[in-house]
Amino acid sequence: MNALKATIKWIAAIVIICAVAVFLASINGLSVSRKIATVGGNDVTEAEYKYYLEMIKDQMISEAGENAGDDYWNSDIDGKKASEVAKEKAMDELIRVETAVVKAKEAGVTLTQEQASNARSIVNADDAATKEQLKELEKKTGADKYQIADIMEKTFLSSAYYQSLSQQENSPIKPDDETVKNAANEKYAVVKHVLISNTPQQDAAAAADGAAEPAEEVDTEQYAADAKAKAEEVLAKAVKGDNFENLIKEYGEDPGMETSPDGYVIDETGATLDGTGSMIQEFTDGTFAVKPGEVNPNLIESTYGWHIIKRYPLPEDGEDLTKILSTASNSIMSDKYTEYLDGLKDSMNITINEKIYNKIKVK
């Protein structure tokens, strides 16, 4: 009798476990199958939306940097909670991709066999880091890796449609030469400077890292004061119109001016065009504060010392100019592609299931 009772209890326990498993699977399955939107006649699931939401969350946290604390999603961004901003951005991106997919098919744009298999290769990657990231994404979205691959294929098709539009002669996203040139001058600069070190340390780079030893028996305060006085003297000469190249040779302490005699080519973030490094923020801001051909009338101080900065016009030809114009053109086309897709919204017969959308929480 006791054995029978034990058996019955064991069977009951198994039934409960199975019921719970089925329930959990059904909850997860809802995320995969529940329709959260329709775009251009195509249904979009909650899981697909959550995929874009995770991408946007990562992007926003990265951009927030040190401000992305534990309560970041409750913080205010232009009068809205950060969580709502993330949800709206994710829905906008989803609609853009779905719109691009519809338009790509209408235009006969398809993925190559290699492009089509790329998504499968990613989700079937052997390295531990990718597997862990994929596992986390599956957990957060409710989609399995093959459904994630399908979503990725849509983003690849959107990119293919972008490439197709960018190559058309009368493309709605292709900028004219004057627009590209103006953008290049806004986003890129050629800059030279006279560096006057404000510390007696032997190496300015080591000084910035705090690695170099101070020179012996030197009054650091007096050294800094003398350095600033010298920098002000050089700045006055530069503003007056003295030959800047000669000022670099006579006073400059940056060895980079010898290895890069034509100047540093940087973008608005400070990154060098050749990809070898990035300028410090003070230097970048000081460069873009003036127009090509102008000397910044202010001394720019950084951990390296005092900078007397002159911005130069972009090169008129050569590889650097080609790269600058290409990068500027691609940036403009990317923005115009977004505008183009957004402009097609009204023709896409978009519906959103607000009940499901409103229940999704960002955390």
Domain regions of the chain by residue span: 34-57+84-167+335-359, 186-312
State the Cα–Cα distance between residues 235 and 309, nearest whole angstrom. 9
State the Cα–Cα distance between residues 153 and 278, nearest whole angstrom. 34
Q: What is the pLDDT of residue 13?
A: 41
Number of H helices, E strands in the chain: 14, 9
- 226 token code pair: 């003398």
Q: Are 35 and 44 in contact, with CB atoms under 8 Å apart?
A: yes
Find residue 81's DSSP bridge partners. 76
State the Cα–Cα distance between residues 259 and 269, nearest whole angstrom. 22
Place of tokens 């946290």: 61
Q: What is the pLDDT of residue 69?
A: 84
State the Cα–Cα distance between residues 179 and 197, nearest whole angstrom. 40
Pick the CATH number of 186-312 from 3.40.50.620, 3.40.1670.10, 3.10.50.40, 3.10.450.50: 3.10.50.40
Q: What is the pLDDT of residue 149?
A: 93
| Helix or strand run (H / E) with residue 323 | helix 319-342
Find residue 272's DSSP bridge partners. 266
Q: What is the pLDDT of residue 30?
A: 44
Place of tokens 């004219």: 176
Which residues fall within 8 angstroms of residue 94, CB to CB, at 6 or more apart? 37, 39, 44, 48, 49, 52
State the Cα–Cα distance between residues 293 and 314, nearest whole angstrom. 10
Cα 310 to chain centroid, rounded: 29
Spans in the chain with pLDDT lower than 50:
1-31, 203-205, 215
Q: What is the pLDDT of residue 67?
A: 81
